Amino acid sequence: MVQFPQFPQALWRDSAELPDFPDLNKSIQTDIAIVGGGITGLTAAYILTKEGRNVTLIDASNVLNGVTGHTTGKITAQHGVIYDELIQHFGAENASLYYEACMDAKQFIADTISAQNIACDYQEEDAYIFTNSEDYTAKLQAEKNAYDKLNISGELTDSIQLDIPVKSVLKMNDQAQFHPVNYLKGLLNEAIQNGLTLYEQTTATDIEYNKHPSIVTQDGHRINANYIIQASHFPFYDGEGFYPVRMYPERSYVIAVKVPESFPGGMYISAESPVRSIRSASINGETFWLIAGDSHKTGQAESTIEHYDALQAYAEKHFGISEFVYRWSAQDLTTLDKLPYIGPVSKHEENVFVATGFRKWGMTHGTIAAKIISDQILQYDNPYQEFFTPSRFEADPSVREFTKMTADVAKHLIKGKLEYTNDNVKDLKPDDAVITRVSGKRTGVYKDSDNQLYAVDTTCKHLGCEVNWNSGDRTWDCPCHGSRYDVTGDVIEGPAKESLDKVNLE
């Protein structure tokens, strides 16, 4: 078997140089404050500064270090098998609106690349959903009927250019792929030239109101603004929108490998689980095959490293691996009705916006979100505004899911607290972790390769669920709403805003 990279590293981040920005060390005033330097935040910053608006963007870490830096970089309206379901739940007119929103996002990206002359390996490709299961063959037929009803250009066949067994394949014509970080670096540079102010290592913890909303940062500074855009993946400010119970987090995995054969073109995804998504990427003349999938609810996998193993085994079985170059994982949020929440955070707070719940399709959804919110601020009409508004709440299928997910969170809240483990810290091997009890408290202990121990109280600082060890990424992950912490307990990903408590082992 080919050697597995010891630490996760995303191909996109490793192949792009990005500038550093200072942290915010005083209170400031701005017209529009954006929290989060991913595709939504940077695209909105680009659009709004181009219109001459005064924009400040902050990021809790570094720009493009979150989900956007860890995507598969597909720009497509083929978001799995969804159009038949969208027609059933929302009607053909709304299903069509969804498709058009995605295709408009693709067009926006293509137009921006050519207007700004951005070198980001943008390539038009057809997208394919394949299945080797009889059950899904019928589902793909129903999905093709939905394509026909919505005038989506595509075809149903029984073969694929990749050497994998298939019974049925549904093609969607004229989709695209790119290098997401290089694309957004182009937007970032342009926004800076247009006057964008940017701060990194600056965590937003709350929004308070006087006459206008203010972001309060972890260091106690304020950003007073007319408008605030939460583009931080999970919204750090809820505004009574009840987002923690309206979404659930999932992790999925990506490996980048070199393969003896050349890539035949196209972007592929399986209909059935475990999902396998396959595309190619060319960096400096080298071609990598990206194999992604194997998702699960965050914090609920027994051993996360097994998901990389599964992708590696799949790639080896079907294509052969000559070199294993990168591996990384990403976290996504799915909403009750599978559509993103884009718009005012709640009905009463018209100038605080949220963009979340992209269900692994952040390149299109993030672009749609940036455009909708910017249009709302600029008071331009946008045909998709109402469809994606977070205050929509369809009873079907939401209510059933709502009840199920609330129960799931409650289960983890209680289960984690009662769970007893006997693992002995003394037996812990380097670069491994256990959950044990210290003075009666559930404690996570990680030992690094120099035998240094890091112990943290495993109670999540968001709403008190218990975090679990992620062996693939060496992080503590919360199963309830997806907060993630590093081995020292510091927050990598919200909604938690505070570090886990440290535990003294002596």
List of residues contacting ligand FES (CB under 6 A)? 244, 460, 462-465, 478, 480-483, 495-496
Element (H, E) at 135: helix 134-149
Closer by beta carbon to ligand FES, 181 or else 496: 496
Say how far apart CA 338 and CA 76 lie, in whole Å: 16
Pair of tokens at residue 444:
């996570």
| Separation in Å, CA 480 to CA 243, 249, 328 | 12, 8, 22
Least distance in Å: CB of 298 to ligand FES? Answer: 9
Closer by beta carbon to ligand FES, 363 or else 487: 487
Least distance in Å: CB of 425 to ligand FES? Answer: 24
Identify whether 390 is preceded by a cis peptide bond (ω within 30 of 0).
Answer: no
Least distance in Å: CB of 257 to ligand FES? Answer: 33
Give the long-range contacts of residues 143-150, CB within 8 A, separation 24 or more: 143/81, 143/82, 143/83, 143/84, 143/170, 144/170, 145/84, 146/83, 146/84, 146/86, 146/87, 146/95, 147/83, 147/172, 149/87, 149/92, 150/83, 150/87, 150/92, 150/95, 150/96, 150/99
Least distance in Å: CB of 343 to ligand FES? Answer: 23
Residue 119 gets which letter from DSSP?
-
Say how far apart CA 268 and CA 156 lie, in whole Å: 14
Least distance in Å: CB of 169 to ligand FES? Answer: 38
Closer by beta carbon to ligand FES, 293 or else 444: 444
Least distance in Å: CB of 348 to ligand FES? Answer: 24
Least distance in Å: CB of 482 to ligand FES? Answer: 6
Least distance in Å: CB of 403 to ligand FES? Answer: 18
Residue 328 gets which letter from DSSP?
E
Closer by beta carbon to ligand FES, 233 or else 276: 233
Say how far apart CA 237 and CA 229 lie, in whole Å: 11
Say how far apart CA 21 and CA 304 lie, in whole Å: 33
| Separation in Å, CA 207 to CA 224, 342, 477 | 10, 18, 25
Closer by beta carbon to ligand FES, 383 or else 464: 464
Say how far apart CA 206 and CA 208 lie, in whole Å: 7
Closer by beta carbon to ligand FES, 204 or else 480: 480
Closer by beta carbon to ligand FES, 100 or else 250: 250
Closer by beta carbon to ligand FES, 161 or else 488: 488
434 φ, ψ (degrees, to nearest 5): -135, 160
